Chains A and B, each alone.
Chain A
Amino acid sequence: MASLRDIKGRIDSTKKTKQITKAMEMVSASKMSKAEQNAKAFVPYGEKIQEVVKSIAANNPDATHPMLEKREVKKTGYLVITSDRGLAGAYNSSVLRNLYQTIQSRHQSTDEYTVIAVGRMGFDFCRKRGIPVAKSILGLADQPNFSEIKELASETVQMYSDEEIDELNIFYNHYVSAISQQVTTTKLLPITDMETTGSTSEYEYEPNQEQILNVLLPQYAEALIYGALLDGKASEHAARMTAMRSATDNADELIGDLTLSYNRARQAAITQEITEIIGGVAALE
């Protein structure tokens, strides 16, 4: 049996760890509610731009733009949204596992795909496995604004326009609720889901619809990327909060077990001492 001092040491260190995980849980909880607000603030913009894009596409079925047209896929781009730091439970691993499986099942050589990594975990993962990373953005703020992601988003869209990649898929954790996040894969480019939504009004275009699409579609794609990022950030904080809560719970349990065995060891020591004293007295008589 471990000595009293050993057990005491372990109890102390577990208590300290618990303090840290508890603090991290609370920090993540407040960051999560902020991130949730950001994601909500983005919704009107996302919806509006989608509405306009759809109504233009619906009113002009003959509208053509490279971003609306499917072309033969020679190279696929994968945009992966992960966090910079770990300790977020299965947040990163589930997205990366999904990405890895997709790549394994769909491609034979590294010429056929490239990854655009958001977050250090995704970047390191790809580098270690020899997956080509075309672009990356590390050290993104917890509450990113649009200007921070703008450059990466527009460069990614540019890659598609330059035919460096022929389709773009995005992998991220969708925020369902504080305790549930879901790995989501969406095909971002070419833009395909242009079903008409019913209420559409005829627009005048100034100067003409082609020019409008030129401005609108890249902006739409950038908006989608930003939306996914905000969603991912909210999920990250939620995942970290859940992970830290269960770590705190585990620490509590461990402390309970250790305290029990500490008391047992203490009792055993006392009993032994008494037995020794009695034994000594008996020997004297």
Chain B
Amino acid sequence: MKTLTVSVVTPDGPVLEDDFEMVSCKAETGELGILPGHIPLVAPLTISAVRLKRNNGEEKLAINGGFMEVRPDKVTILAQSAELPTDINVERAKEAKSRAESRLQSKQDNIDFQRAELALKRALNRLDISQ
């Protein structure tokens, strides 16, 4: 089976670089599945899980924002942060979740609200993937 090289890069350093058969991720316009030989593409990603498939197995990554660049044999994901399930600090994510929830309920001004919502999304995404 043909494969494509996937590399995930963050400002704090590369997270992963390996060959996979398929990449599926959530872009801002919807779910995207990338197979080898895809035409060159650039798409922004949401706070979501990226799933990498290989030999009937699947690996997951928690992605926070950023975008992906696709070439026929290579996919590069540039994210502000990216974590493998084993790297996720579950305790911290839970704390962040409850903090964001309480902030959302307190209903203050607009900017706080947006930021809390994003924080909640990140926390939920991390918890989701770590399970």
Enumerate chain A interface residues (CB-CB to B < 8 A): 38, 41-42, 44-46, 48-49, 52, 56, 145-147, 150, 201-207, 211-212, 215-216, 219, 223, 226
Which residues of the partner chain A approach B39 to less than 8 Å between Cβ atoms? Answer: 204
Stretch at the interface among B53-61, B64-72, B100-108, B123-131: B64-72
> In the complex, how many angstroms separate the beta carbon of B53 from the nearest chain A beta carbon?
20
Q: Is A226 within 8 A of B44, CB to CB?
A: no
Report the separation of the CA atoms of residues A211 and B81 in the bound assembly, to the nearest whole angstrom. Answer: 21
**Contact, CB under 8 Å: B43 / A212:** yes
Point out the residues of chain B lying under 8 angstroms from A216, CB to CB: 42, 44, 67
Question: Which secondary structure dominates where chain B touches chain A?
Answer: strand
Q: Which residues on A sit within 8 Å (CB–CB) of B109?
A: none
User: What separation, in Å, do the CA atoms of A179 and B67 have in the docked complex?
Assistant: 38
Q: How far is the CA of A285 from the CA of B81 in the complex (A)?
A: 96
**19 other A-B residue contacts (CB within 8 Å) besides A207-B29, A207-B43:** A42-B12, A44-B9, A44-B13, A45-B9, A45-B11, A48-B9, A52-B67, A146-B11, A146-B81, A203-B42, A204-B39, A204-B40, A206-B29, A206-B41, A211-B44, A212-B43, A216-B44, A219-B67, A219-B78
A-B contact pairs, 15 of them (CB 8 A): A38-B13, A44-B9, A48-B69, A48-B76, A146-B11, A146-B81, A204-B39, A204-B41, A205-B43, A206-B32, A212-B67, A216-B42, A219-B67, A223-B11, A226-B11
Q: Collect the chain A residues with CB atoms within 8 Å of residue B42's CB.
A: 52, 56, 203-206, 212, 216
Interface residue B52 (Cβ < 8 Å from any Cβ of A):
no
Q: Which partner residue on chain B sits nearest A42 by CB separation?
A: B11
Q: In the assembled complex, how far is the CB of residue B16 from the closest CB belonging to chain A, in whole angstroms?
A: 12
Cα distance A204–B42 in the bound complex, in angstroms: 6
Contact A202 B43 (CB under 8 A): no
Q: Which residue of B lies closest to A143 (CB)?
A: B12
Report the minimum CB–CB distance from B98 to chain A (whole Å): 19
Q: Which residues of A contact B43 (CB under 8 A)?
A: 205-207, 212
Known: A207-B29, A219-B66. A202 touches B40 (CB 8 A): yes
Give the distance in Å from the alpha carbon of A69 to the alpha carbon of B75 in the complex: 30
Q: Which residues of B contact A (CB under 8 A)?
A: 9-14, 27-29, 32, 39-44, 65-67, 69, 71, 76, 78, 80-81
User: In the assembled complex, how far is the CB of residue B9 from the closest CB belonging to chain A, in whole angstroms?
Assistant: 5
Determine chain A's interface SS by DSSP, over half rule: helix
Q: Are A206 and B27 in contact (CB under 8 A)?
A: yes
Instruction: Give the distance in Å from the alpha carbon of A216 to the alpha carbon of B69 in the complex.
Output: 11
CB < 8 Å neighbour of A203 from B11, B40, B78: B40
Q: Closest residue to B44 on the A side, CB-wise?
A: A215
Among A38, A48, A223, the most chain B Cβ lie within 10 Å of the Cβ of A48
Q: Which residues of B contact A49 (CB under 8 A)?
A: 78
Question: Complex: how many Å from CA A205 to CA B66?
Answer: 15
Q: How far is the CB of A154 from chain B (nearest CB, A)?
A: 10
Among the interface residues A52, A206, A211, A212, which one has the most CB atoms of the partner chain B within 10 A? A206
Residues A146 and B28 in contact, CB atoms below 8 Å apart: no
CA of A150 to CA of B118, assembled, Å: 14
Q: How far is the CB of B20 from chain A (nearest CB, A)?
A: 18
State A45–B79 Cα separation when bound (angstroms).
9
| Cβ contact of A41, chosen from B14, B44, B67, B69, cutoff 8 A | B14
B27 contacts A45, C-beta separation under 8 Å:
no
Q: How far is the CA of A161 from the CA of B11 in the complex (A)?
A: 23
Which residues in A have their C-beta under 8 angstroms from that of B76? Answer: 48
Please give the distance in Å from B25's CB to the nearest CB on chain A. Answer: 11
A45 CA to B14 CA, complexed, in Å: 8
Nearest first, the 10 A-B pairs at minimum CB distance are A41-B13, A206-B43, A146-B11, A215-B44, A204-B41, A45-B9, A203-B40, A207-B29, A203-B42, A201-B40
Residues of A within 8 A of B14 (CB): 41, 44-45
- With A216-B44, A226-B11 already in contact, the answer to whether A52 and B81 are too (CB < 8 A) is no
